[in-house]
Structure 1
Amino acid sequence: MSITIAMYSHDSVGLGHARRNRAIAHALAADLPRLTGEPVGGLLIAGHPDAARDALPAGWDWLVLPGFARTADGYAARRMNLPAAQMSALRGSAVAAAVDAVSPDLFIADRHPFGVGGELTEALDLLRGRPGCRTVLGMRDVLDTPEVAAREWESVGGAERVAEAYDQMWIYGDADVYDPRRTGEIPAALAAKGRTTGYLAHGRPDDEGAPAARPYVLTIVGGGSDGAHIATAAAQAQPPRGHRHLIVAGPQMPPEDVGRLRELTADRPEVELLRSAAHVPALVREASAVVSMAGYNSVAEIMATTTPALLVPRHTRRAEQPRRAAALADVDAVDTLDAAQLSPEALSDWFAHTAGRRTLRDRIDLDGLTRVGDFAAELISVARTSDTGSAHSRTESMEVPTHV
């Protein structure tokens, strides 16, 4: 026998959802064969073409859907001349056809239980009708304020509807640092199915790249679509004596912002602007200090190191990043700077006082990627040995104790 995994991420802005799923795919490819004695392969379904630039384990591949973009009025087609409802129907048909063809043993959706415009509904109905498949909703550590989260759950039909569609919820964080069940971001109907994995930090895939000459300080802004303000301040900051300053703009930073950064750094040989870098985890690990936004994946890469970090959380659209940054600052894992206080002088001062020091983060559970294989193996084993009863009876054995 063999094991097939299917994973979904909608990816309208940035690549955070796809990058989380990719990290999990690498972990499952490494651990499930050892745990089950069976070969493992899978399909990662994503909504942004840049996702497919990242390599996958042998036996895995990408399925990139026609893209959505986030606008002031909601979701809209990124390139196609179709209304949002038709885009969701197109994408939903593609996802349903894909999961029907590969017949996965395990399906993992990142963050959005029914996708954009309910595009996962057909696929989930198909999978829930197959006794041999288990479904997991993966959630980052922080969602938003409890009030906003409650409205979002209601907008997809309520927590009870989500609980009927998924066997488990994996929460990619450390409950001792931040627990969205205790804050009210995850309702009781879903909290009962929640398992905390620990942060997906240690063991993230680290693509090879040319090593950077040390010493250097580093600024990263995720995909870059909304990180120009940080990169601009960084481009004008003074690195510590004897250090270079690497700034990774991100593949999704608008060209006009990249052009502005090139102008700011043109006469500064100590500052190197990179459009993108495949080996960001290694760059973070070897840096003397790092400035970053507070998105989940950037933070996870930082937490896996002892590199001192200054998080400048994004305040637009969601309260997610400020809440994550504050929680990690409370356990002395990072420093934080409000975006309103961001300036070249503030970054220069922080670099001068911090570069070269080390930050110990060993009190935080960072081993989520070593744990998801066990969770997956357990689900698949239960699916294969349980009776082919109703979808309702399937979920009862899935309510397991939370890992802390």
Structure 2
Amino acid sequence: MKIHAPKKIVLFSHDSVGLGHVRRNLALARAFTEAADRDGTGPVTGLLITGEPVALKFPLPRGWEWLVIPGITKSGSSYGARRLDVPFGDLTQLRGRIVRGAVLSFGPDLVVVDRHPYGVRQELAPALRDLKRERPETRIVLGMREVLDEPDRAAKEWAKLDLDQFCRDFDQIWVYGDPRVHDPVESGEIPAAVSHLVRHTGYLSAGRAVGRSPRMVEQPYVVSMFGGGSDAFELAELAARTPVPEGFEHLVVTGPQMPSADFRRVQAAAGPHVQLHKSVPDGLACLREASAAVLMGGYNTMCELLSSHVPALVVPRTSPRTEQLIRATALERHGAVSVLEPEAVSPDALARWFTAATTGQIAQSGGRSAIDGRGLDAVVRLTAALLSPHDAPSVSLRMSLTAAVADAS
């Protein structure tokens, strides 16, 4: 019997605001492990590198470990140290050295960097280039959500990079979305000079791990969830004050990063039938068992929503980036969600929407079913192609790779 050496994978996220980056990488880790178990292709082991210690609360798939590096935070457009009392340049140098030591010692077959190709202030550049030099067989991928920002702002980010060097450092760009909904190449969010590296995977939606509902509230209920929660006080407070349809409870999840003082203010504002929590053990399970949902427009929240049939009203963040607004309006055009911009939100507006949604007046399932949500499967197939470029694959694997290319086109 042939013994397969474990495939080694590193998933990096810089993690300054929210939990979206780390949750996305955790979904990838689970998909890699589940595919290896299902297909018998040999074990997978990996490092999830993050700057967010809250990540340690998430259960890991077998064979994976967290590596938590010193954290950063963001205020407006400026980064700073989250806890260490050191100059920011010293902090990014420290982070980069930790990552460099880890990846060179671990010797990964694949590195996936989430969203920012070189981390913050080029902190990853030495690690990636030394890894390429010492292990030229390692494949390095930039993983990107389907919406970056307004094209002009995205262009300014890319303008800071040497794109020729980028093309030498990275083997592919995985865009985690359906280009029929939003295409960042067509919009100009990804420059033409690197577009040949782009593979559209579909949303990382189908196949998301979901457990049993933790029964935070009795059914029937409606739910309001606000991602990490660091900037969600105003919306959470309005949701907590919202009267819900008769016979329904209201589960309000502010997010684990909401400051304690803000959480107490939301508690003070909460009306009857509100169950208020900073976090829940399984947000997807809570969402799927709800009768209706009010959500922000973060990538991972939308992916979880797309895997459900729950009618949803999305209140997107509109500053400092318009990413959530662009995503929400694109999904609304496809009939997958309803959208209400923050300035129009009030307890009365939310109450009217909850009433419509719980009485069958909101239909969104058909729009969602037409959107490609098979991104986790596509990533697994694209990885197989990247790591076995010279092997003669079996007929079934060739068919899978052909399907991956078709899905990503």
TM class by smaller structure = over 0.9
From 380, 385, 388, give the equivalent of 1:373.
380
- Distance in 1 (CA, whole Å) between partners of 2:24 and 2:60 is 12
- Distance in 1 (CA, whole Å) between partners of 2:390 and 2:84 is 39
Whether contact under 8 Å (2:214, 2:286) holds in the other structure is: no
- Residue number in structure 1 paired with 2:123: 119
- Residue identity (%): 44
- In the alignment, structure 1 residue 180 sits paired with structure 2 residue 187: no
Alignment of 1:109-188 (within 5 A): 109-129=113-133, 130-155=135-160, 157-188=161-192
Letter in 2 for 1:349: R
- In the alignment, structure 1 residue 30 sits paired with structure 2 residue 37: no
Supply the RMSD in Å over aligned alpha carbons: 1.6
From 286, 290, 293, give the equivalent of 1:287.
290
Cα offset, 1:359, TM superposition: 2.5
- Distance in 1 (CA, whole Å) between partners of 2:359 and 2:285 is 16
Whether contact under 8 Å (1:5, 1:104) holds in the other structure is: yes
Alignment of 1:86-97 (within 5 A): 86-97=90-101
Letter in 1 for 2:108: P
Whether contact under 8 Å (2:200, 2:408) holds in the other structure is: yes
Cα offset, 1:158, TM superposition: 3.8
- Distance in 2 (CA, whole Å) between partners of 1:180 and 1:35 is 32
- In the alignment, structure 1 residue 311 sits paired with structure 2 residue 321: no
Cα offset, 1:72, TM superposition: 3.9
Cα offset, 1:220, TM superposition: 0.4
Deviation per residue, 1:16-37 (Å, 9 max, x gap): 1011000000001111354462
SS in 1 for 2:388: helix
Whether contact under 8 Å (1:8, 1:110) holds in the other structure is: yes
SS in 1 for 2:285: helix
TM-score by length of 2: 0.91
SS in 2 for 1:218: strand
Structure 2, unaligned stretches of length 5 or more?
393-404
Letter in 1 for 2:314: L
Letter in 1 for 2:104: D
Letter in 2 for 1:81: D
- In the alignment, structure 1 residue 244 sits paired with structure 2 residue 249: yes
Letter in 2 for 1:302: L
Whether contact under 8 Å (2:378, 2:407) holds in the other structure is: no
Whether contact under 8 Å (1:68, 1:75) holds in the other structure is: yes
Cα offset, 1:256, TM superposition: 1.4
Identify the structure with bigger relative contact order (alpha carbons < 8 Å, sequence gap 6+).
Answer: 1
Deviation per residue, 1:314-338 (Å, 9 max, x gap): 0111010110011000000000001
- Residue number in structure 2 paired with 1:3: 7
- Residue number in structure 1 paired with 2:198: 194
Distance 1:33 1:274, change over 3 A: same
Distance 1:238 1:103, change over 3 A: same
- Give the total of aligned pairs: 387
Whether contact under 8 Å (1:200, 1:369) holds in the other structure is: yes
Structure 1 stretch displaced more, 242-251 or 118-127 = 118-127
Letter in 2 for 1:149: A
Letter in 2 for 1:228: F
Distance 1:352 1:83, change over 3 A: same
- Residue number in structure 1 paired with 2:47: 43
- Residue number in structure 1 paired with 2:240: 235
Letter in 1 for 2:83: R
- Residue number in structure 1 paired with 2:355: 352
